[in-house]
Amino acid sequence: MKINAERLWDREQEVGEYGRDPRGGISRFAWTPEYREAAILLIKWMEEAGLKVRVDTVGNIYGRYEGTKDLPPVLTGSHFDTVPMGGKYDGLAGVMTALEALETMREAGYKPKRPIEMIAFINEEASQFLGGHFGSKAICGMLPHDFASVSVDRNTGKTMKEAMLEYDMGLEPDNFEGSFIKKEDYFAFIELHIEQGKYLLKKGLPVAVVNDIAGIHQFYITYYGESAHAGGMAMEDRHDAFAAAAMTACEVERLALESGSPTRGTVGYLKVEPNEHNIVANKVTFSVDFREVEDDIWKQLYDNLIEFVEKQCEERGLTYKVKSTISTAPCHCHPRLKEIIAESADKHGIPHMNMVSYPAHDAMQMGRLYPMAMIFLRSSNGGVSHCPEELTTKEDLAAGAQVLCETLQRLCELEEI
Ligand SMILES: [Zn+2]
């Protein structure tokens, strides 16, 4: 079976235009009119490809390709929303290659043993309603029941519930339960996604098999000290919240560099109060973002940093608070699924490598329920992503769709993994 590279590329470009932002790039946020238009086009294509389409209670779109036996389906897909002023490939590549793979199967008259379903997750980027990975978290039962009522658009103040109702696609914001999937509902989950870095570009390879998805711990630390005159107050009498924050930022970098693993540690946000050149700061809030693949190290990073923070407070006479925003443990791709992806690429003469995903993906949530694996595609324009310059070439998209199509075929003939 050979996928249709032209059709895939043309559709990626066409649906990828929805949400065109006058400031540049694409801003297609969940439950907006432009998202709705794009979803309607996607559903039309899915139905034309012979898929049985349904939209769940929160807005994820499913399409089912029937199998000959009544077995749990293989599920594949990615997200359909973008970051503000993003590109046409992040998320969308995984949705459109899934559709292309299923349409190719139908055209070839292929009847899989297991059904295959595709999914377009909603609100993964969470550009308006913060949190991230909404669609996959919702179906895996990881969100509180009243989430849609309490979650607010950070720009307009509108609740998620209002946005879901205005979306007018029959969603039920008070019925997240209606979207839940259970362990026995699916056989395996595969997500194809662009790399969003330059490993593949530097290696000159189109495709990677993902080994693990790094865990993320994102939190905000606030130090409370005492304002004082920058001249009058002697150094030993100060309670300087900013000096502690600066030391802690350096410690984040040191912990990442010396973890014994390719940990990422970032302090990217800082708020200093009162933020004056001649006043010792009395309150400083900053973000910490740790990403790590090894479960033990991932836990240790946080514990070690908090120990450091407590020492700073002791030495400087400060107090502190921590507010955790994301805490998602590392996720490990299924060994047999990784082999099947590699074998599928080999069969079509598509060169590949293995790598870690440091960005988080919907696959992390799905991986807690099902055997999971990911296929990465080369980000061609210098590896950049989450910007209008994001690019994955027609050839690489086609290579990815071919690997996905082969992988799905192999998976849906398996009795067990
Ligand atoms: Zn993405």
Q: Which residues surround ligand 1, an ion (CB under 5 A)?
A: 90-91
Distance (angstroms) between ligand 1 centre and the Cα of 315 equals: 42
DSSP line for 101-150: HHHHHHHTT---SS-EEEEEESSSS-SSSTTS-HHHHHHTT-S-TTHHHH
Instruction: Specify the long-range contacts of residues 69-73, CB closer than 8 Å, at least 24 apart.
Output: 69/113, 69/114, 71/113, 71/114, 71/115, 71/187, 72/114, 72/184, 72/185, 72/186, 72/187, 73/114, 73/115, 73/116, 73/117, 73/186, 73/187, 73/412
Distance (angstroms) between ligand 1 centre and the Cα of 228 equals: 46
Distance (angstroms) between ligand 1 centre and the Cα of 55 equals: 20
Distance (angstroms) between ligand 1 centre and the Cα of 364 equals: 12
Peptide bond into 73 cis (omega under 30): no
Closest CA to 141 of 54, 43, 56: 56
Distance (angstroms) between ligand 1 centre and the Cα of 209 equals: 16
Q: What is the pLDDT of residue 325?
A: 86
Distance (angstroms) between ligand 1 centre and the Cα of 70 equals: 32
Distance (angstroms) between ligand 1 centre and the Cα of 80 equals: 9
Tell me the per-residue pLDDT of 194-207, one tens digit each, with 9 for 90 and over.
Answer: 999 999 999 999 99
From the number of C-beta atoms within 10 Å of its C-beta (0-12, 13-18, 19+), residue 131 rates as middle
Distance (angstroms) between ligand 1 centre and the Cα of 248 equals: 30
Distance (angstroms) between ligand 1 centre and the Cα of 124 equals: 7
Tell me the per-residue pLDDT of 205-233, one tens digit each, with 9 for 90 and over.
Answer: 999 999 999 999 999 999 999 999 999 99
DSSP class of residue 93? H
Distance (angstroms) between ligand 1 centre and the Cα of 15 equals: 16
Tell me the per-residue pLDDT of 343-383, one tens digit each, with 9 for 90 and over.
Answer: 999 999 999 999 999 999 999 999 999 999 999 999 999 99
Distance (angstroms) between ligand 1 centre and the Cα of 76 equals: 14
* Residue 223 phi, psi dihedral angles, 5° rounding: -100, 135
Distance (angstroms) between ligand 1 centre and the Cα of 125 equals: 7
Distance (angstroms) between ligand 1 centre and the Cα of 93 equals: 9
Q: What is the pLDDT of residue 320?
A: 98
Question: Are the CB atoms for 270 and 286 separated by under 8 Å?
Answer: yes
Name residue 221's beta-bridge partners: 286, 322
* Residue 228 phi, psi dihedral angles, 5° rounding: -160, 165
Distance (angstroms) between ligand 1 centre and the Cα of 238 equals: 45
Distance (angstroms) between ligand 1 centre and the Cα of 288 equals: 21
Distance (angstroms) between ligand 1 centre and the Cα of 361 equals: 6
Q: What is the pLDDT of residue 356?
A: 96
* Residue 229 phi, psi dihedral angles, 5° rounding: -70, 130
Distance (angstroms) between ligand 1 centre and the Cα of 89 equals: 8
| pLDDT, tens digit only, all 417 positions of the chain | 999 999 999 999 999 999 999 999 999 999 999 999 999 999 999 999 999 999 999 999 999 999 999 999 999 999 999 999 999 999 999 999 999 999 999 999 999 999 999 999 999 998 899 878 999 999 999 999 999 999 999 889 999 999 999 999 999 999 999 999 999 999 999 999 999 999 999 999 999 999 999 999 999 999 999 999 999 999 999 999 999 999 999 999 999 999 999 999 999 999 999 999 999 999 999 999 999 999 999 999 999 999 999 999 999 999 999 999 889 899 999 999 999 999 999 999 999 999 999 999 999 999 999 999 999 999 999 999 999 999 999 999 999 999 999 999 999 999 998
